Amino acid sequence: MQDRILAVEEKLAQSKRVVVLTGAGISAESGVPTFRGEGGLWRQFRATDLATPESFARDPKLVWEFYNWRRELLAPLRPNAAHLALVELEKQVPHFTLITQNIDGLHQKAGSRNIIELHGNIWWLRCTQCGRLGEDRTVPLPALPRCAACNGLLRPHVVWFGEMLDAAVIEKAYGEIQTCDLMLVIGTSGTVQPAASMGMHAKGAGAMVVEINLEPTPYTDSFHISLTGKAGDIVPLLT
Ligand code: OAD
């Protein structure tokens, strides 16, 4: 392990452009449940009942109950050592981009600055009628929150299954991935596209790709270096 850490440190010192991709695993040590694996949200709930545009159209109260519950769970949680180490890395690298699949807002809470949120943010609400977007940290929100401008029904500003990711967000992410020298892929199972294949894109474009995860993923053998363990233990070793 020590030799692999050294190799990543060396590459980090030489890199002008670094991309980090994070998934639910980086927030696990803060107390955020992951989606898959033991204790995973999608083991407890059916995503198709709660995180699709169809389920929201059918039963918005139920979907809001789920999101209000998640907001309540997330509100008191704090960034962990891995989130904080990425804030330090951002200061050390000339051009640093953090691409996250997480909607929990913990990277912002930690102090990371250049963040691309692929799946939105649970603390932002979007009007289903006028499209107005705004941050609202009220916990809990009313059973059916309404837009202050047009009284339309608000929804969480997150990407649901079956929905397209924001094209501008994706374009920005690929721009960074294609030009980076090093990419760290932290705490993601590599099962949801397009994030799952972003590491392979970076590799194809010539970057060194390093995975940090508790366990192997479908991409472990394809990346250059795999660091196995908790993100909160490993990421701080790289700063
Ligand atoms: P998953 O729950 O699929 O995977 C979490 C990954 O984190 C697994 O590979 C774990 O091994 C790893 N892990 C857990 N604890 C860790 C720790 N302390 N340190 C390092 N790694 C750890 O979560 P994602 O890959 O983020 O999408 O899931 C991708 C998307 O699926 C989510 O963004 C969400 C979900 O459905 C949407 O909601 C659109």
Q: Whose CA is nearest to atom 22 of ligand 1?
A: 25
My answer on whether 224 and 151 are in the same domain is no
My answer on whether 89 and 195 are in the same domain is yes
C-beta 230 within 6 A of ligand 1: yes
Among 158, 186, 210, give the residue marking a domain's end. 158
My answer on whether 211 and 176 are in the same domain is yes
My answer on whether 115 and 126 are in the same domain is no
The per-residue pLDDT for range 144-156, each reduced to its tens digit, is 999 999 999 999 9
Residues 6+ apart with CB under 8 A from 193: none
Range of the domain at 18: 2-31+78-119+166-238
Pocket test for ligand 1, best of 41, 83, 122, 188 (most atoms within 8 A of CB): 188
The per-residue pLDDT for range 72-93, each reduced to its tens digit, is 999 999 999 999 999 999 999 9
* Amino acid of residue 216: P
My answer on whether 103 and 219 are in the same domain is yes
My answer on whether 125 and 223 are in the same domain is no
Please tell me the total count of domains within the chain.
2
Strand spans (E) along 80-141: 95-100, 115-117, 120-127, 133-135
Q: How many Å apart are CA 104 and CA 37, to the nearest integer?
A: 19
My answer on whether 218 and 152 are in the same domain is no
My answer on whether 180 and 227 are in the same domain is yes
My answer on whether 131 and 55 are in the same domain is yes
Among 142, 158, 174, give the residue marking a domain's end. 158
Residue 84, both tokens: 């904080």
C-beta 34 within 6 A of ligand 1: yes
C-beta 7 within 6 A of ligand 1: no
Q: How many Å apart are CA 47 and CA 194, to the nearest integer?
A: 18
Q: How many Å apart are CA 180 and CA 15, to the nearest integer?
A: 8
- 3 state SS of 68: helix
Say which of 119, 157, 201, 224 is annotated catalytic.
119
Q: Which of 27, 4, 3, 25 is nearest to 208 (CA)?
A: 4
My answer on whether 56 and 8 are in the same domain is no
Query: Residue 8 maps to which CATH number?
Result: 3.40.50.1220
Among 134, 158, 182, give the residue marking a domain's end. 158
Q: Whose CA is nearest to atom 26 of ligand 1?
A: 23
Instruction: Render each residue's pLDDT in the chain as its tens digit; 239 residues.
Output: 899 999 999 999 999 999 999 999 999 999 999 999 888 988 888 888 899 999 999 999 999 999 999 999 999 999 999 999 999 999 999 999 999 999 999 999 999 999 999 999 999 999 999 999 999 999 999 999 999 999 999 999 999 999 999 999 999 999 999 999 999 999 999 999 999 999 999 999 999 999 999 999 999 999 999 999 999 999 999 99
My answer on whether 99 and 184 are in the same domain is yes
Residue 205, both tokens: 């474009």
